[in-house]
Structure 1
Amino acid sequence: MSLTETSTGRPRAFSDVVETLGTRPGEKLCLGEIVEAFGDRAFGPVMFFFALLNMLPWPPGGTTLTGAPLLLLSMELALGRDSLWIPRWAERIAVHRQTFRKLSGRFRKPLKLTERLARPRLYVLTGGLGQGLIGLACVFLSVVLVLPVWGGNLLPAVAIGFFSLGVMQRDGLAVLIGWLLTAGTVAVLFLAWALIVAAVEHGLRWFGHLF
């Protein structure tokens, strides 16, 4: 029986599969094992997993490593692939299973609540074109994550999380929230850029007055 199916053949909840992965034998959990566990449903769950990782308070530059796999996954989604492909070397990326259990334990309650609220709706946002646009948005958000900006990981990571949930559950409302958060990320970037430009101009004027 597949990890993604119950004894009656019905799809198992994402949170249940995650919990099972954490209790499996073996010291380390490899990315290849996660992809294999979810099978044809791997796109949304694997992206959601990396989105959760990027929501953690990493030091500057930390999301450069955790955001890079999302960039690859997002490009595949944007290209319209039906199944997830990762290179051989990426399959060997691993975390200690105990660390995985602790991480998944932190998000277990909110994740189960989200699963209860999510359901198939607004199919136009999760269809072929909608999924391609989601992929393009996630490419942009992943690039933001890869940039070594302190504190700049939360908003794009949450946006990718909602996009991933929408892909998993075919929930257009979750996708709509993802788009709103993407717009918020763009607005924050423009504001940050304007502040940087203003600070540089002010600094140049200050030096000009000195000399």
Structure 2
Amino acid sequence: MTLIVTSSGRPCAFSEVVEKLAARRGEKLCLGEVVEAFGDRAFGPVMFFFALINMMPWPPGGTTLTGAPLLLLSMELAWGRDELWVPRWTERASVRRSTFRKLIGRFQRGLKLTERLSRPRLHFLTGSFGQGLIGIACVFLSIVLVLPVWGGNLLPAVAVGFFSLGVMQRDGLAVIAGWLLTAATVAVLFLAWRIIVASVSHGFDWIGRIA
């Protein structure tokens, strides 16, 4: 799984790039630094990076900030842009580098295993039309991430991670996994909505009986 690191211009694995970002000095890791490391055309790697960030156990509202860059990137992918672009003011969005080091330590073994297993296949799922559909799905998943829902970040973040892996590696199997997890996210949201509606209705009935 190789990509171009613009600062050096040489091929580099995704796991190597994130290791270098974690090893750099500085208290915070900013979005601008991530975009510069992966390059202007690295939709998949940068989205995968933020998918990892959103897999962390954030408190309610924590993914509102970490999910916002994913929402922007997803909209660009759905629109069919060839080059990654972020507004200058968003480049200052950051996460503590110490937190990022812990995150990478947790996922690095899995990342390296993924690099060995993934490969180009089922190309029709990662073509221009397929990427447009992936972008639309990721817009939905990013909106879910932005909502302040306790524990609601893991499933959509993993789905975005598989979609991003599919875009990076042209791996249609990873894209299929992303679609299955997107369907699971929809099912969980529907179930949660039904429970909330039923609870509110039951509450009003209970108050009515007391009154």
State if a TM-score over 0.5 links the two structures.
yes
Q: Following the alignment from structure 1 to structure 2, what is the Cα–Cα distance between the partners of residues 74 and 5? A: 24
Instruction: Give the match's secondary structure for 2:67.
Output: helix
Task: State the alpha-carbon separation in 1 of the partners of residues 199 and 95 from structure 2.
Answer: 41
SS at match of 2:180: helix
Letter in 2 for 1:18: V
Q: Equivalent residue for 1:105?
A: 105
The superposition leaves residues 173-202 of structure 1 with CA deviations (integer Å, 9 ceiling, x where unpaired) of 000000000000000111111111111111
1:150 shift after superposition: 0.5
- 1:81 alignment partner AA: R
Query: How far apart are 1:52 and its partner, in Å?
Result: 0.8
Consecutive unaligned residues in structure 2, runs of 5 or more: none
Cα distance in 2 for partners of 1:172, 1:5 equals 30
Q: Note closer, same or farther for the CA distance 1:25–1:204 as it changes in structure 2 (3 Å cut).
A: closer
Q: Which residue of 2 aligns with 1:69?
A: 69
How many equivalent pairs are there?
A: 208
Deviation at 1:26, TM superposition (A): 4.5
Query: Is 1:3 paired with 2:8?
Result: no
Distance 2:29 2:210 in 1: 59
What is the RMSD of the two structures over their aligned residues, measured on CA atoms? 1.9
Structure 1 residue runs without a partner (length 5+) = none
> Residues 70-85 of structure 1 correspond to what in structure 2 (within 5 A)?
70-85=70-85
Please report the TM-score for the alignment, with normalisation by the length of structure 2: 0.91
Q: 1:132 corresponds to which letter in structure 2? A: G
Q: Distance in 2 between matches of 1:176 and 1:147?
A: 25
1:87 counterpart letter in structure 2: P
Matched, 1:47 2:47: yes
* Preserved CA contact (<8 Å) 1:45 1:168: yes
What TM-score results when the alignment is normalised by the length of structure 1?
0.91
Q: Is the 8 A contact 1:131 1:167 kept in 2?
A: yes
The sequence identity of aligned pairs, in percent, is 77
